[in-house]
Structures are given as C-alpha cells and as structure tokens.
C-alpha cells in the first residue's frame, strides 16, 4: 500500500469532495474524481506563477497544479462553502501536510465538520515531527490549541516562528544532507542545527515590533499518539464532533489520520474517559521517552524478553504489544482453569 492508498483508504472518490492546498502534489486528480473541489489560499494563476518562479519545481510538476475552486484560508472552509450553498453536503475532505501549518487547528476541524455531511470523512497525512526538521522541537500541547482557538490567530506567532527556526535541523548521511529521516533506521543520522539562536532572537524581537504579513512554518508538532489524544479530548470537551476511524502508526516520515463526522453523540462518563486518557497518555509518554517506571531498560543486564518487548513497542506500537500480552495472560489463565 503506497501513501496515496493510505490517504484514500476510507474515501469514496465518487462522492463530493475537497482537497485542501495540494499545490503541485495532488492526492486526487479531477479527471479521476469528477466531483472534487480544490481549496487554496491562492487562485490558480498565482499558484502557477509561484511554481514557475521556483527552480525546485520542475515543468512536469507545474502541470500537476489543478484549477482552484475555493480561494481562501483552510480554516474558513465552512464559510467558503456557505457562499456556494454546499455546506453540510461534502462527502470527504483530503489534506496532505497542511494540518501542521495551521495556527488554529480547532477552527479548521470545526470548519471541516460544518462542511461535511453526517458520516463524511476527513483524511489527513501529517508529518511525525521526529522524522523531519522539527526533530528537536517540543511537541504541541492541547493548551496551545485551546489558546489559539480562543484568540483566533490568523498567522503563526513570533514565538512559534522563533521556536521553529532556532531548533530547525538537517540530517547528515555522510556527505549528503536531507530534511527528513525515518524511525526505523538502525543508525540515527547526525542532526545539525540550521540557524543560530542569537540571530533568531533578533528576528523574534523585530517580529514583535513589526510583524511580517505572513511567515509560513510548522505550528503543530505531533506524533500519532498525541494527535489521537487531542482529538479524543476535543470530542469529550464538545469542541469537535469527529470520531476516530483510524490513526496509523508512522510510515516513513508521516502518519495518516482518518476521522468521521459523528452521526450520533454519546459522551462517556468522566470515570470512563479518565481511563481512556490515562491509557493514551501512557502511550504518549513511552513514545516520547519518559522514564519507564516498572520496566527494565535495554541495558546489558536486561533479559532477552525485555529487550524484544521494548523493540516490539518501538516497531509496532505499545497498544499492539499490550494487546498481545493481555491475550497471552488470558490464554494462560484459561489453561489453568481447564486443568483445575
């Protein structure tokens, strides 16, 4: 399964859909999805002019730029559709490497919900920050999203721009330099900082006094487990009405999130949700390298079983390993009961 198949896994491409800001790398082409609309902050001619002026974009890639149907900010998707009378009638929304750029992700999610019919899907490819130039940044907090939602920023803040630039890295593979890496590398590449902190602090001060119109950067620093936690938190708080269909593990440099607009609304009890949050937070903690309380390390004196278990967690995820362990415990218990 390639990345396009992973993004389209839960999408009926015959329905009415929107792709958000595909530029010269569309997930779908209009000839293959006749009811597809393209949304971008720039119109078609502006996009093509920008691509022509960029030496890194080849002629063949420029031809991939589709006609833009909805011109505006992705966070205003519902408002744009209300003008055309299509709000609440969209079957699917696709977004590849856009979510991390949004200064107000809750407003985007709410806009997508208003755009979709009940049962409609939002499918996104999102970079795992550990695998890209955000490698040394600290993850986004839910409080960051809530603060943005209640202050309605239209662009990344000077603090976000400072954090992104001061901690930006490139990965060295011998003489070759790249912006990405993957979690499955047996030998981690050297990560080298791109900018000096003193220069970025001067830029930060200038931005505070005289902000630039818009500086594009990554505002949301995520891993799959964090994204799932925040989505479930927002749903529990009543701020979004999406249910999680699937959030994949990281493939290459990205993970894939599939959400469905709820058709029914049933809120778990506080006690039930506390258990869900605790499970997700433990998973996040393990992925981010927090102290492994009650677990043996991968030191030389660790048992072979402990080593295999820790490696399995890093490869297939904590939930899968815990599910197998739970199944084995139940199997052993059933065997004892039969013998008794």
Tokens of 316: 């297939």
Per-residue confidence band for 300, with pLDDT thresholds at 50, 70 and 90? very low
pLDDT in tens, 39-75: 999 999 999 999 999 999 999 999 999 999 999 999 9
pTM: 0.84
Query: What is the layout of strands, in order, in the sheet containing 116-127?
Result: 70-71, 36-40, 17-20, 90-96, 116-127, 254-261, 242-247
**The pLDDT value given to residue 289:** 78
pLDDT in tens, 119-175: 999 999 999 999 999 999 999 999 999 999 999 999 999 999 999 999 999 999 988
Check the CA dihedral 324-290-229-93 and report its sign: negative
Task: Give the relative orientation of helices 142-151 and 224-236 as an angle to the nearest 10 degrees.
Answer: 50
Task: Give the relative orientation of helices 304-316 and 318-339 as an angle to the nearest 10 degrees.
Answer: 130
In terms of phi and psi (left: phi > 0; alpha: psi -120 to 50; beta: otherwise), the region of 92 is beta
Report the alpha-carbon distance of residue 108 to residue 138 in Å, rounded: 22
């Amino acid at each position: 399964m390639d990345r396009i198949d992973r993004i389209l896994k839960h999408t009926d491409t015959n329905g009415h859909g929107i792709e958000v800001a595909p530029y010269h790398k569309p997930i779908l082409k209009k000839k293959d999805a006749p009811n597809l609309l393209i949304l971008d902050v720039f119109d078609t001619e502006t996009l093509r002019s920008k691509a022509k002026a960029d030496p890194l974009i080849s002629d063949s890639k420029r031809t991939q730029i589709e006609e833009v149907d909805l011109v505006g900010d992705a966070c205003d998707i519902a408002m744009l559709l209300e003008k055309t009378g299509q709000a609440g009638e969209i079957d699917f929304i696709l977004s590849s490497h856009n979510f991390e750029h949004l200064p107000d992700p809750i407003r985007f999610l709410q806009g997508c919900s208003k755009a979709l019919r009940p049962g409609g899907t939002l499918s996104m490819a999102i970079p795992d920050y550990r695998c890209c130039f955000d490698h040394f940044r600290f993850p986004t907090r839910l409080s960051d999203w809530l603060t943005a939602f209640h202050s309605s920023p239209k662009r990344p803040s000077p603090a976000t721009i400072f954090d992104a630039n001061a901690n930006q890295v490139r990965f060295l593979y011998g003489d070759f330099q790249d912006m990405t890496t993957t979690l499955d590398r047996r030998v981690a590449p050297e990560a080298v900082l791109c900018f000096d902190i003193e220069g970025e602090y001067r830029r930060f001060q200038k931005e505070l006094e005289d902000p630039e119109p818009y500086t594009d950067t990554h505002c949301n620093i995520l891993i799959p487990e964090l994204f799932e936690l925040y989505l479930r938190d927002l749903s529990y708080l009543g701020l979004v009405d999406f249910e999680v269909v699937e959030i994949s593990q990281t493939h290459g440099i990205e993970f894939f999130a599939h959400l469905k607009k709820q058709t029914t609304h049933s809120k778990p009890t506080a006690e039930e949700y506390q258990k869900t949050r605790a499970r997700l937070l433990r998973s996040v903690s393990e992925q981010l390298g927090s102290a492994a309380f009650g677990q043996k390390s991968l030191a030389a004196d660790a048992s072979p079983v402990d080593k295999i278990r820790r490696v399995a967690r890093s490869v297939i995820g904590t939930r899968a390993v815990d599910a197998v362990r739970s199944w084995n415990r139940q199997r052993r218990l059933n065997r004892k009961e039969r013998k008794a």
